[in-house]
Chains A and B, each alone.
Chain A
Amino acid sequence: MTKSTQLTLVLVLLGLFYLFYEGLWGNPRHIPTVLIGTDAPMVEGPDVETGEMISLEQFKGKVVLLNFWASWCYECKVEHESVLELHRLFKDDPNFVMIGVNYQDKLPDAQQYLKEYGTTFAHMRDVKGQLAIDYGVYGVPETFVIDQQGKIRYKYVGPVTGHMYTKITQEIIAPLLKGQPVSTPS
C-alpha cells in the first residue's frame, strides 16, 4: 500500500468518524433554517383569551418576538418564567412586541394554562397549524425574532432559559432595538 493510498484511507475514515460524531453527539437542537434573513410571514389568528384577531401586519416596523408554545409541552412550562421575564425587560420599549402562538392545542387547555401560569402579552391561536408551517416550525417551544424591516433575524428551538435567554436578550433583541446589526447564525 503506497503512502498516498494510506493517507486517503485515513482521511476517508476520519471523515466517516466525524459524520458519526456529529450524528450521535452533535447538538440535536441545531436545526438549520432557511428562514433567517427572509420576510417574516404576516400571519394572523384569534387571541387565545379574547378571540379578537391578532395580525403581525399591525406590528410592522417593530421588533417582534414570536414564541410558539402549547399547554401540553413540558419545555414550554420550563421556559415560561424566562419568557415572562424577557417581556418585562423590553415591554416599555414602544418598538418591541411579543406574541405567543398557541400550537396544536385545545382552546380550553390553552386558556387554563395562561390562567394558571400567568401572562403579560397577547397569544394568538394557530387553529389549523398553518402559522407553524409558515414559520417552518418543527415542535414547541420555538422562538423567532423579527426585526423592524420585517425580516426573521433569529430562530431558536427549545426553551429560552439560561445562556439562551442571555443571548436572545443581549445579543439579538437589545441591538435590534438600537438599530444595530446582529450576527444571527441559524
Chain B
Amino acid sequence: MLMMIRLIVTALFILSTPWSGLAEVQDETLLDIQVREIAKTLRCTVCQTENIWESGAPLAQQMRGVVRDRLKLGHSPEDIKEYFLSRYGDYIMMQPPAHGVNWFLWAGPFVLLLGGGLFLYKEVIGWVRRTPASPTAPPPPLDEKARQRLEHELES
C-alpha cells in the first residue's frame, strides 16, 4: 500500500513539474514579446536612429526594464507609450505621432515630390512648346560669286 502511495505521489510530481515549468516559460515568453513590440516603437534617445530594443546603451537597457516592470504591473502598451511621451515628448517615438507640426514630417516628402514633379512637368512642357517644330531654318541664298565657285569645285 505504502509502495502504491509513493508511486502515485512520484507520478504526480513528475507529471506536474514539467507542465508548471512550461507554463512559466510561456508566460515569460509572452512578456518578452510584449516588451520587444513596445521597445521597438521607442527611440533610444542617446543613439542614432536606433530603438531601445536594438540598442545596447545603458539608458536603452533601463528603458526596457521600465517597459517590463510596467507590463508586469498590468499597464497597457498604450499607457507605457504615453508615459514615455510625457517624459521625452514626440522624439521618443520611432514614428512621430501624426499631429500638429508633425504632419510636415509625414506629408513633407510627398508634398516635395509632388511639387517637384509638377514643376519639372511644367518646365519640360514649356521647353517643348518653345522649341520650333522644324529644328533647322532654310539656309540663306548664295550670292552669285559663291554659287560659281561651288559649281566650279563640283565640276573639278
A167-B15 Cα distance, complex, nearest whole Å: 70
Q: Given A1-B123, A5-B119, A9-B119: A136 and B87 within 8 A (CB)?
A: yes
Partner of B58, one of A12, A104, A136: A104
A139: which B residues are within 8 A, CB to CB?
46, 59
Asked, given contacts A1-B123, A9-B119, A129-B58, whether A33 binds B89 with beta carbons under 8 Å apart, the answer is: yes
Is B86 part of the binding interface, using a Cβ–Cβ cutoff of 8 Å?
yes
Q: Which residues of B contact A (CB under 8 A)?
A: 45-46, 58-59, 61-63, 65-66, 84-89, 91, 112, 115, 119, 122-123, 126
Query: Does A129 contact B89, Cβ atoms closer than 8 Å?
Result: no
Cβ of B28 to closest chain A Cβ, rounded Å: 20
0 or 1 for each of A14-33: is its CB under 8 Å from B? (1 = yes): 00000000000000000011
CB proximity of A128 to chain B, nearest CB, Å? 6
A128 touches B62 (CB 8 A): yes
B46 touches A132 (CB 8 A): no
Q: Report yes or no: B65 in contact with A34, Cβ–Cβ below 8 A.
A: no
User: In the complex, what's the smallest C-beta–C-beta distance from B50 to chain A, in angstroms?
Assistant: 14
A138 and B45 form a contact (CB under 8 A): yes
Sample of 5 more A-B contacts, CB < 8 Å, known A1-B123, A129-B61, A129-B63: A32-B91, A133-B59, A133-B66, A136-B88, A138-B45
> What size tier do the contact residues of chain A reach?
20 to 34
Q: Which residues of A contact B62 (CB under 8 A)?
A: 104, 128-130, 132-133
Q: Which residue of A lies closest to B84 (CB)?
A: A133
CB proximity to B under 8 Å, residues A127-154: 128-130, 132-136, 138-139
- Given the complex, which residues of B lie within 8 Å of A132, measured CB to CB? 59, 62
13 contacts between A and B (CB under 8 A): A12-B112, A34-B85, A35-B87, A38-B86, A104-B58, A129-B61, A129-B66, A130-B66, A136-B88, A136-B89, A138-B45, A138-B46, A138-B59
Q: Judge whether A128 and B88 touch: CB under 8 Å.
A: no
Distance between A62 CB and nearest chain B CB, rounded to angstroms: 23
Looking at the assembled complex, report how far the CB atom of B129 sits from the nearest CB atom of chain A, in whole angstroms.
13
Which residues of chain A have C-beta atoms less than 8 A from B59's C-beta?
104, 129, 132-133, 138-139
Residue of B nearest to A129 (CB): B62
Which residues of B are found within 8 Å of A32, using beta-carbon distances?
A: 89, 91
Minimal beta-carbon separation of A37 from chain B (angstroms): 12
Task: Please give the distance in Å from B125's CB to the nearest CB on chain A.
Answer: 12
Least Cβ distance of B87 to chain A in Å? 4
Asked if residues A34 and B119 are in contact (CB atoms below 8 Å), the reply is no
Q: With CB as the reference atom, state the residue of chain B lying closest to A130.
A: B66
